[in-house]
Structure 1
């Protein structure tokens, strides 16, 4: 047994530790924070055109829904449309993945793209300190969501960033209309200005220069999630925002007596897909509107002034093709706001000042751009110095395009051009310097990538061979004990003492080199783990000699062919991560496998064929862009209830099993009713009733206990596990997921039955030597066991990907958790969605545990085979990780590696969970 085998437990602990190290390496290689500290701030503009700036962030507003006219030809936002046509600038702000609220606001206000590890560490709180426009302002007043405002107040130095936000309970996705979140902000601003007229101290602060007002408007995001961006609620919310902005602008102009020193910017942190989600890289998520007007911002100009060529046709669709369009990267808005106010650029900003938006003298433009370039160059210098300190001087490789001498030459040239009045040439030279600094930042950001990648690769290969050594030694019968004479006759380079001495020498050299360079402690792990693993492998080299001799002597051995075939299948599975249709082909191949591989026919084989063909359709269905259909989910629940009712009583083994089935079917009925009740309430826009919410959480808790109460016999326990998980899965489903799980469970049960039939049939015809027991009383591995492990890997991945992919996992879809909560809570919602992804994996693990019991395979052996296969896939994805191309491609490649590594670590946990669910029983009474 896995849980009672001490050696296996030691191996699991060792394996989890090694894989956690490999997993964490991805953060040092690809997710390192871009932030550095110690830079000198550079004032953006010595002659700022604006005394104050008003930033409106319309959370979740798509560019097309904002710019395109309504079917009747009227604009969705009449006031802002008039601004675009008569007073200001318009364009598209291009966001980066992940398109979520936190990284979007950080890019707008702080000017840098937050790394994924920081996003994962905190939503409201700041895992790292960073500079921002708010921090550099004299005073900032902000109103809006409790999830956004605190992150900028906490990071600010001094006490000059003020915030006022509504309770988090107001963010209810089941509300009839969430535009009230925006009207709350507008009402608060109006009340604030009224109070300021009576408060002399506040009036004095408001009269200062470099003041920022930040209005975070969450209504569109919440309405988009709840009612979708093409809904009447979403479009009406745009009109509400437009009216509110018009009123606030009017009040501010009156408050400041129309001094024409106020700049206004309207934008969005991210967009939203047609199906009401965001987080991935669809254009509807990455294209957001930008409207700017007021002090320091140019007036509308004709399209002939466009400095870029736009071939997307958006301007024509939006009836704005006659006006100049000014697109920006999202991080560019931070230096834009800084230049308008004359404050220092945020020191961590990587935005480039969009000059074509400004209406300031050419000399001021030149000074602002030169300061922007110096601010980026300052980050480059700090990164270069930090890398110098942690690298041996003899091995340091500087960024040759921007060495210290070239930095001085560039800066001197720009200053001379400004001195000679050649402002346009100075601007071009500043932009060139900035481009070089950006490339240099990327160079030093990825400086250690080759070393770390080489170490992790060596570790992966070493671990695979180490596990292969254990399999050959313990489960194939190839143990080889060297004698004293073997030590004398073997070459010195292959002796155990030499291998140990070499490993110690290499480890000492690595430690000294890393210590001298003062590199992080994690680097020691990445470099020393491969040394340990390869020491263990090389010490067992005689086992590989014996294995090679056995394979050479047994030319008809099916092991080689099966292994090569399984490697081919694994590579196809890797391709399935990118092309889900491959999983459909895999299901078809699985369906016909028993008909081609075995002569005997059984009813179970035809059930297997039909359900595999049904499952082959699911990977072909869209995983994003779907509309929720609770009728399909309810149909799946009713079908599952019918299946549960017609289960033959003899499969339940005893009266207790029958009672457990009745209880679970009752819970399933409760889940079906609860889903119908909640969906009806949401459709009527009445929100989530409290009783339904309590019932949902009760089903979640009670369902998990049933397997531990049921009999431990194979079939009763498996039925109990399935009907324990299905009600919870049903409550988290939106469309065809429930039908998929029903077909998937049938396939798993058919797989179990067929493996039992195959084992029994072959056992009658196999030679005793092939199934001879080892010293521990367990049989050795055969070629069929490799195939079973491949089936397990395939089922694990199709359970994860048949109803989803990277885009669907990244996309935030709150409708899936409406039965449990509707008020925004990112970590609770994320936990529930993760549970939904994990439940099918647990079903596969329990089925695999059953196959192992029925076919008498040593659990440890299967565990080792599956681990090797998972690591082969992980190594594939490690090489496929890319740091070029679109941000969606970069994020997807990293996500694939992280998913496989998590699966590898989770695999070890699954073996323990499946053992618990299939073997442990809680006895409530003696009966």
Structure 2
């Protein structure tokens, strides 16, 4: 019988130890990377697989259409209120379009969905479905899944505009009947003197194209065919909105130019076709824009876009005495007496198909907005019936696919649309049409469409619960195993006991049998290969847990010996701490509360008694950092003077540091080190100048100066090299890292966030001192002197101490500071709600991947500062990097399990993007921490010796 000795918490975590033989570190790391990669990828398979299905029969209205041709104007980035509102003189920014909606057409608002970006908006408009998020991985340029569109179903489509939008519809078209005319990508310059030239280019080329057709009989004949689409993509408004904001003179003037261009094109086409009355026109937008010039989120200014339809087959304005909408815009726009016909963005695709008589796009989920049509009740009923059958076709294909991959006794059909119900709906609708009960037929069709869409969603998410539970089991098993590894190898809480061969064999055979049963079950259902990974992963994970059953028993016996209040208190504090971290992802102000609690930490632990000055500075810096999460999200209102102030403050601090070094004749610095410091100060000064000068240049429409661009890219490259040339003593090296990264961060800043790294770094410097004091407080008096501590020799430490409870607090501090670095200035919104203003010092020509990479770099810089500081904490407290890694792994995995069930695939792009980002962030925390730890070790311990330098070694 084993005798257990009760130890107090501080004793049991600090006794000398020899780690037992366990899984090798490389094997453990590889297993951890594999497990987390599967967990990470799983959300895209479970939540964001493509909803599209193929194999449907095209559906077309049997009656002749009202129009022979359709002209689609998409004013990229045009807000509904910007088009409909009147200026101070009660005149419209778009007088021609205002006259159309008042006298000869129908109007309303098109409500966009996820995400409010150009490509998904155009896909919804032209193909009729809301594109899945997987397209973002290709920069919204390539088609992740080929799809049908109004252009593909047309006889001919000619399109003019951006090279980012037009090619995707030509690429997805069958045959050779969709033609594109694009300007160069370099034309999309946010710093251009006049972005409206992009729209002028489109209008000029359309007019030139039609003029040239008069001498080209083949082209002339094609243009006079039926089922022709002309698509004009107008990007100038979006570009001016990003560069100058939607309330600017440039944005409003661009709307006037678009209005004039639409008028000219409409007049030219009527003349070309001899006023035959067979041309239908639609003007709308792919998305709106916030007041600060970004889009991507779910703000009404981004999701409310204009829709004006006129010409062949379109209703005239409908007078009303009153109408109610929650947004209360009608009175402001002085349009309260004209009926407003709102639609969902995907509804425009079936409207276009109905007007020119082409089959509805096969993947469309839109509902035909009948109030826009000026046609017979019979035509409307037939069109609605076609729409219903087209959506039902998708439902039937999706249902049959799921039925074919599910065992019959396990298959649960969507009951509201069983086979008999489908037949009943179709027979009743056809009977109503034959009996000329058109209103009843339309009502029945709308019901059928809604049920079919519900059914599509039902079958698309059919396996979600099953797969989610499999991933959750893997999560819990892996987290349990990591906790057991920590207890087994980094504490003295358990005693190593070897399992008998018989027990091990039974365990192995048992889990092997379970794995074989799961494989057989998936095999007979012909499930995708990824299902095997998700369902089989928990088997080896829980096998590893059960092999450590004796560790669980020993741990339970020790914990059971502790006072209940002590055990429950520790568990409660741990849970509350992790929940605070989770809560902070949704409410940034939680970070403020956490930082204020951190400010009082020295008082609670009596550290203030032995380090009053350090404690006072810690409290002040915690309070200063706590202000940032309360500030508005970065990017809303640029404030270049604050960026300049941050640069000058950095120069002041670095100048004071240089003066102090010279005054004290610091023996750890030589002339070369002083030169490096001076060069870093010069980089800060140049960055401050470049930010100021670039802002003024763009404001004056003079573009991005080449000198500023060269300095920016040079600073970016040099910032990764300069720290490696500085001394490896603790504070000189950390300060060198701060100066180099700060130079780049200034170039990427637009406002108050430029001050964030300074305050964060100040707190990190004090944290290092505080942890030294904590070591003495917990009885570990052998602490190094920070003033002479050299990172280079810290790697020679061979004796790492065991964990004690305070190391869990250190790990929690690290995770909290990482989260603060990420959300402290709301940088996540800069990525999700794309705002190019942050990268204007580097480039102004639209380049999604380059701009996205620079924005990610901006987010990473505070991470590097925290990681380098924690590297200092780790080596100065003689803390094992492996034990630290495991504690952070447990914290991040528990958080990840929360976010796995909070991932959204609906709502605004901000909601979807945020839910993905939350999960990806915590799932990547392990890999990210390893990368940051490696980068921190490189930045802190390595030193480049220039050939002309005299090598200097500290003694």
Deviations 1:74-111 (A, max 9, x none): 01100000000000001000001220001000000011
Where does 1:858-877 land on structure 2 (aligned, <5 Å)?
Answer: 858-877=880-899
Matched, 1:140 2:150: no
* Within-5 A mapping of 1:355-754: 355-483=370-498, 487=500, 495-555=503-563, 561-598=569-606, 599-623=609-633, 626-647=636-657, 648-649=660-661, 653-655=668-670, 656-754=672-770
Change (3 A) 1:436 1:29: same
Distance in 2 of aligned mates of 1:687 and 1:560: 63
Q: 1:883 to 1:116 in 2, by over 3 A?
A: closer
Determine whether 1:836 maps to 2:844.
no
Rounded to whole Å, the distance in 1 between the matches of 2:851 and 2:571 is 42
**Aligned residue runs from structure 1 range 802-841, under 5 A:** 802-804=824-826, 806-841=828-863
CA contact (8 A) 1:142 1:216 kept: yes
Correspondence 1:131 to 2:127 = no
Residue 558 of structure 1: how far off its partner (Å): 6.8
**Cα pair distance change 1:764/1:845, threshold 3 Å:** closer
**1:96 equivalenced with 2:113 (yes/no):** yes
What residue is the counterpart of 2:794 in the other structure? none
Unpaired runs of 5+ residues, structure 1, are: 767-774
Cα-to-partner distance string for 1:123-175 (whole Å, 9 max, x where unaligned): 32222211111100001111111111111111111111111111111111011
The alpha carbon displacement at 1:657 in A equals 3.8
In structure 2, the partner of 1:772 is none
Contact 2:635 2:751 (C-alpha < 8 Å) held by counterparts: no
- 1:652 shift after superposition: 8.4
Q: Give the Cα–Cα distance (whole angstroms) in 1 for the partners of residues 873 and 566 of structure 2.
A: 21
Measure, in 2, the Cα distance between the counterparts of 1:28 and 1:254.
53
Name the SS of the counterpart of 1:303 in structure 2: coil
Instruction: Indicate if the aligned counterparts of 1:795 and 1:844 stay in contact, CA closer than 8 A.
Output: yes
Contact 2:190–2:242 under 8 Å retained in 1 = yes
Alpha-carbon deviation of 1:805?
5.8
Deviation at 1:118, TM superposition (A): 1.9
Matched residue, 1:50: 67
Q: Tell me, yes or no, if structure 1 residue 921 matches structure 2 residue 943.
A: yes
For residue 577 of structure 1, give the secondary structure of its aligned residue in structure 2: helix
- Answering whether residue 295 of structure 2 is matched by residue 278 of structure 1, we say yes
Give yes or no for the alignment of 1:299 onto 2:316.
yes
Alignment check: 8 A CA contact 2:151 2:173 kept: yes
Distance 1:75 1:218, change over 3 A: same
Alpha-carbon separation, structure 2, partners of 1:668 and 1:680: 19
Q: TM-score, normalised by structure 2?
A: 0.92
Does the CA contact (< 8 Å) of 1:870 and 1:904 recur in 2?
Answer: yes
In the TM superposition, residue 765 of structure 1 has moved relative to its aligned partner by: 7.6
Residues 144 and 166, structure 1, Cα contact 8 Å, conserved in 2: yes
Q: What secondary structure does 2:901 align onto? A: helix
- Measured against aligned partners, the alpha-carbon deviations of 1:791-845 in whole angstroms (never above 9, x if no partner) come to 0111001111011165443111111000000000011001100110011111111
Contact 1:749 1:847 in 2 (8 A): yes
Provide closer, same or farther for how the CA distance between residues 44 and 15 of structure 1 changes in structure 2, counting only shifts above 3 A: farther
1:466-508 residue CA offsets vs partner (Å, 9 max, x unmatched): 111110111112454335xx749xxx9xx33222222111111
**How far 1:885 sits from its partner (Å)?**
6.3
Structure-1 separation of matches of 2:586 and 2:884: 27
Partner of 2:183: 166
Contact 1:566 1:786 in 2 (8 A): no
Paired with 1:677 and 1:531, the residues of 2 have a C-alpha distance of 60
SS in structure 2 at match of 1:142: strand
Aligned pair partner of 2:349 in 324, 334, 349: 334
* Larger mean Cα displacement after TM superposition, 904-913 or 251-260: 904-913
- How many angstroms apart in 1 are the aligned matches of 2:197 and 2:104? 29
**Offset, 1:888:** 5.1
CA contact (8 A) 1:138 1:160 kept: yes
SS at match of 1:141: strand
Mean CA deviation greater in 193-202 or 39-48: 39-48
Distance verdict in 2 for CA 1:159–1:882, change over 3 Å: closer
Are residue 896 (structure 1) and residue 906 (structure 2) matched?
Answer: no
Per-residue Cα deviation, 1:732-777 (whole angstroms, up to 9, x for no partner) = 00001111111111001111110012113323589xxxxxxxx973
Q: Distance in 2 between matches of 1:305 and 1:352?
A: 25
CA distance in 2, matches of 1:776, 1:497: 38
In structure 2, how many angstroms separate the alpha carbons of the residues matched to 1:81 and 1:570?
55
Alpha-carbon shift at residue 677 of structure 1 (Å)? 2.1
Residues 161 and 181 in structure 2, CA contact (< 8 A), matched pair in contact too: yes
Call closer, same or farther: CA 1:852–1:6 in 2, change over 3 Å: farther
Q: Structure 2: how far apart are the matches of 1:32 and 1:884?
A: 13
Between the aligned partners of 1:539 and 1:763, the Cα distance in structure 2 is 36
Shift of 1:624: 5.5
Distance in 1 separating the partners of 2:517 and 2:735: 57
- The residue number in structure 2 matching 1:759 is 775
- Which residue number corresponds to residue 210 of structure 1? 227
* 2:242 matches 1:197: no
Question: Could you tell me how far 1:316 is from its partner in structure 2?
Answer: 1.4
Q: In 1, are the aligned partners of 2:48 and 2:905 still within 8 Å (CA)? A: no
Contact 1:733–1:816 at 8 Å: present in 2 too?
yes
> Secondary structure at 2:807's aligned position in 1?
helix
Question: Which residue matches 1:40?
Answer: 57
Partners of 1:568 and 1:723 lie apart in 2 by 36
Deviation at 1:304, TM superposition (A): 5.2
1:770 equivalent in structure 2 = none
Gapped regions of structure 2 (runs ≥ 5): 1-21, 783-796
CA distance in 1, matches of 2:126, 2:899: 35
- Mapped to 2, the partners of 1:498 and 1:418 lie a distance apart of 70
Q: Is the 8 A contact 1:566 1:787 kept in 2?
A: no
Partner of 2:17: none
Q: 2:940 and 2:309 mapped to 1: Cα distance?
A: 63
Contact 2:111 2:303 in 1 (8 A): yes
SS at match of 2:310: strand
Task: Identify which range, 8-17 or 252-261, moves more after superposition.
Answer: 8-17
Separation (CA, whole Å) in 2 of partners of 1:354 and 1:313: 22
Q: Distance in 1 between matches of 2:912 and 2:189?
A: 33
Q: How many equivalent residue pairs?
A: 906
- Aligned match of 1:771: none
Where does 1:114-263 land on structure 2 (aligned, <5 Å)?
A: 114-263=131-280
**How big is each residue's C-alpha offset from its partner over 1:10-60, in whole Å with a ceiling of 9 and x where there is no partner?**
322221211111011101111010111111000145310000000000000
- Please, what TM-score do these two structures have when normalized by structure 1? 0.95
**Closer, same or farther: CA 546–752 of 1 in aligned 2, 3 Å:** same
Q: Distance in 1 between matches of 2:673 and 2:876?
A: 20
Deviations 1:631-671 (A, max 9, x none): 11011011111111222427883325433322222222221
CA distance in 1, matches of 2:374, 2:246: 35
Q: Distance in 2 between matches of 1:909 and 1:559?
A: 35
CA 1:105–1:87: 2 relative to 1, 3 Å: same
Please give the secondary structure, in 1, of the residue aligned with 2:152. helix
* Contact 1:562–1:783 (8 Å) recurs in 2: no
In structure 2, the partner of 1:14 is 31
